[in-house]
């Protein structure tokens, strides 16, 4: 229990750090809340005075009543204005705080290391930034709107009641701690429930996001029932957590209302005795009963606020946890920008593993001269794609070094390193926008003519012209009505537009038909002239012209040489090549 409370306080302290930036707005909100509460509390006094002016039939002080009614109308109008201004301030505070949380969370996602992103569901991260932030907004808005006015109303009501009759006010003060105890007792049990609810909601969002993105595969492998069972299991847990959280939170209002009814009853009984004995007037008794009602109302509201804040804190904890994740290591202060890259790449005694204790690449050495075309082949899991990740510094080596033009890439800015490579991967990636915007993603200043030339070189121009709006056709990140091969042609055109000094082609033509592939290979051959190129391929027929072929197995270079040399060795490469040749002819 103490750990849970300590965790809540830590989260609250961090959240207050975001709120503190808007101190001026908070002070204005408090001012308007105070004005609204004080004016509201002044109305019962006027009501009591009005009742005292109605002495009996035919004996009513109408002149005094008119004055009181005019005052009441002015106070109501001023109260409404103060409440409107207070809500305006509260809305600005809330949504600016949530905006700051979302900005910080999104900026942190941009710099998180790839191991973290690979280990966490993308849908769960989306849930933190979107759904959890909305819950924080709801909790803060209710907190600012009702907490300020509630506290001021409670304090003001007590002062007004003490001013009228201290003995009756003492009854209210004695019963008040019971209401506070009930609210605190329930609030302690709601935080853990809302935390579990938030986690289950994130898991559900992750599953939905994954299924929507891969619905074709789900249906292709007839996994609908299995996915539904998994969704039902998560949905069941979410239902259970939500019901328990709602049950505990819903207890707060009726429990505090019961205690507050005792307050009202106590005031009514002692006030009536005081009125009969002449200690107070009938009007003052009416004021006292009105104050007793107003005094208890904030407790009901605050109890609801406390419950909502439990949910907000649980959600804020998940967002702050993301914001405080360790980012990728910062670049050295003296990190250099790669300029006029020649394309000399060397790997010296490189060690790497995704999971500690499970070695993938050990003591890997490679020296590539400028302009060389290096093909990487081998069975699945041998480290081909891992090598590409290390060259691009998506992952850092565990040992050894990788150098470009003699400079260790750990002492080079990531931006200059990655812009020195042009990548075409087996998995295509498009962003929502026009075809033109997708092609010139890596070269923002490229003109329309340059984009068209790159599309022609990649053999994408012909299908683009057939689209409804040509290069101005808008596509989604999933590619819309484009085939996998067409999406890959757009990614190839993107690289051909930039023509960086080094290239990485990871199964770049895997989704393209044989005839188009031949044309693309010719375009690649022209593009790779004078550029250091790394080619990952499963179809060995596409890498015959490579200057050097690395045959990898279990993270080591098993064989290397050109196509003819490796065939002559009659080793592992020759076995792979012959098996593909036989399969293709069989």
Read off the CATH number of the domain in which 291 is found: 1.20.1560.10
255 within domain boundaries: yes
What's the pLDDT band for 584 if we cut at 50, 70, 90?
A: very low
- Same structural domain, 98 and 231: yes
**What is residue 581's predicted lDDT score, i.e. its pLDDT?**
59
- Last residue in a domain, options 323, 357, 384: 323
CATH number of the domain bearing residue 555: 3.40.50.300
More confident residue, 434 or 509: 434
CA angle 203, 206, 212 (to 5 degrees): 140
- Same structural domain, 357 and 470: yes
**What is residue 77's predicted lDDT score, i.e. its pLDDT?**
93
510 within domain boundaries: yes
Distance from C-alpha of 582 to C-alpha of 586, rounded to nearest angstrom: 6
Residue range 444-478, pLDDT digits in tens: 778 888 888 888 888 888 888 988 888 888 887 77
Mean pLDDT is lowest, of 122-136, 191-205, 308-322, for: 191-205
- Last residue in a domain, options 323, 353, 382: 323
**What is residue 84's predicted lDDT score, i.e. its pLDDT?**
92
What's the pLDDT band for 585 if we cut at 50, 70, 90?
A: very low
Strand, coil or helix: what is 373? Answer: strand
Residue range 212-226, pLDDT digits in tens: 767 767 777 677 888
Whole-number percent of the chain with pLDDT over 90: 3
**What is residue 586's predicted lDDT score, i.e. its pLDDT?**
42
Three-class DSSP labels, 144-163: HHHHHHHHHHHHHHHHHHHH
Structure tokens, 61: 């002080």
**Full domain range(s) for residue 492:** 345-585
Write down the pTM of the prediction: 0.68
Domain count, the chain: 2
What is the mean pLDDT of the segment spanning 234-244? 84
- Same structural domain, 126 and 184: yes
Distance from C-alpha of 293 to C-alpha of 32, rounded to nearest angstrom: 22
Most confident of 42-56, 322-336, 395-409: 395-409
H or E segment at 56? strand 54-56
**What is residue 188's predicted lDDT score, i.e. its pLDDT?**
67
């Amino acid at each position: 229990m103490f750990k849970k409370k300590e965790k809540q306080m830590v989260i609250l302290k961090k959240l207050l750090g975001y709120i503190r930036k808007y101190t001026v707005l908070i002070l204005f909100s408090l001012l308007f809340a105070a004005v609204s509460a004080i004016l509201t509390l002044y109305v019962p006094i006027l009501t009591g005075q009005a009742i005292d002016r109605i002495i009996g039939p035919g004996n009513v002080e109408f002149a005094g009543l008119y004055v009181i009614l005019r005052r009441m109308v002015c106070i109501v109008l001023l109260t409404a204005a103060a409440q409107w201004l207070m809500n305006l301030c509260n809305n600005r505070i809330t949504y600016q705080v949530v905006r700051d949380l979302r900005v910080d969370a999104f900026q942190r996602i941009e710099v998180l290391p790839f191991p973290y992103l690979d280990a966490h569901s993308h849908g769960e991260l989306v849930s933190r930034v979107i759904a959890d932030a909305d819950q924080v907004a709801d909790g803060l808005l209710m907190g600012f709107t009702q907490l300020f006015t509630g506290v001021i109303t409670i304090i003001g009501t007590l002062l007004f009641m003490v001013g009228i009759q201290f003995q009756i006010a003492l009854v209210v003060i004695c019963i008040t701690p019971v209401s506070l105890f009930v609210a605190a007792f329930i609030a302690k049990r709601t935080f853990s429930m809302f935390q579990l609810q938030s986690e289950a909601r994130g898991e559900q969002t992750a599953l939905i996001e994954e299924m929507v993105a891969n619905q074709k595969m789900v249906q292709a492998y007839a996994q609908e029932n299995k996915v539904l069972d998994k969704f039902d299991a998560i949905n069941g847990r979410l239902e259970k957590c939500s019901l328990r959280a709602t049950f505990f939170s819903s207890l707060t209002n009726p429990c505090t209302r019961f205690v507050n009814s005792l307050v009202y009853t106590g005031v009514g009984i002692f006030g009536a005795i005081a009125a009969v004995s002449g200690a107070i007037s009938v009007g003052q008794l009416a004021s006292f009963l009105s104050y007793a009602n107003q005094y208890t109302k904030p407790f009901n509201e605050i109890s609801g606020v406390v419950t909502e804040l439990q949910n907000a804190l649980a959600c804020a904890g998940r967002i702050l946890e993301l914001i405080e994740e360790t980012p990728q290591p910062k670049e050295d202060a003296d990190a250099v920008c790669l300029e006029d890259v020649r394309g000399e790449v060397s790997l010296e005694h490189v060690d790497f593993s995704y999971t500690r204790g499970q070695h993938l690449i050990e003591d890997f050495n490679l020296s590539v001269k400028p302009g060389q075309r290096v093909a990487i082949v081998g069975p699945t899991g041998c480290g081909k794609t891992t090598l590409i990740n290390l060259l691009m510094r998506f992952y850092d080596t565990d040992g050894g070094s990788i150098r470009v033009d003699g400079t260790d890439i750990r002492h080079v800015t990531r931006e200059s390193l990655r812009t020195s490579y042009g990548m075409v991967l087996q998995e295509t990636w498009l962003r929502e926008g026009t075809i033109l915007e997708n092609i010139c993603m890596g070269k923002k200043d490229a003109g329309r003519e340059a984009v068209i030339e790159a599309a022609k070189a990649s053999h994408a121009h012909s299908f683009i012209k057939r689209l409804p709006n040509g290069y101005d056709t808008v596509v989604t990140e999933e590619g819309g009505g484009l085939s996998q091969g067409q999406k890959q042609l757009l990614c190839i055109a993107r690289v051909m537009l930039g023509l960086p000094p080094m290239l990485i082609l990871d199964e770049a033509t895997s989704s393209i038909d044989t005839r188009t592939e031949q044309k693309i290979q010719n375009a690649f051959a022209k593009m790779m002239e004078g550029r250091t190129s790394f080619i990952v391929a499963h179809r060995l027929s596409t890498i015959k012209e490579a200057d050097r072929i690395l045959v990898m197995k279990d993270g080591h270079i098993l064989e290397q040489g050109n196509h003819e040399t490796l065939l002559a060795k009659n080793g592992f490469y020759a076995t792979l090549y012959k098996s593909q040749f036989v399969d293709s002819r069989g």
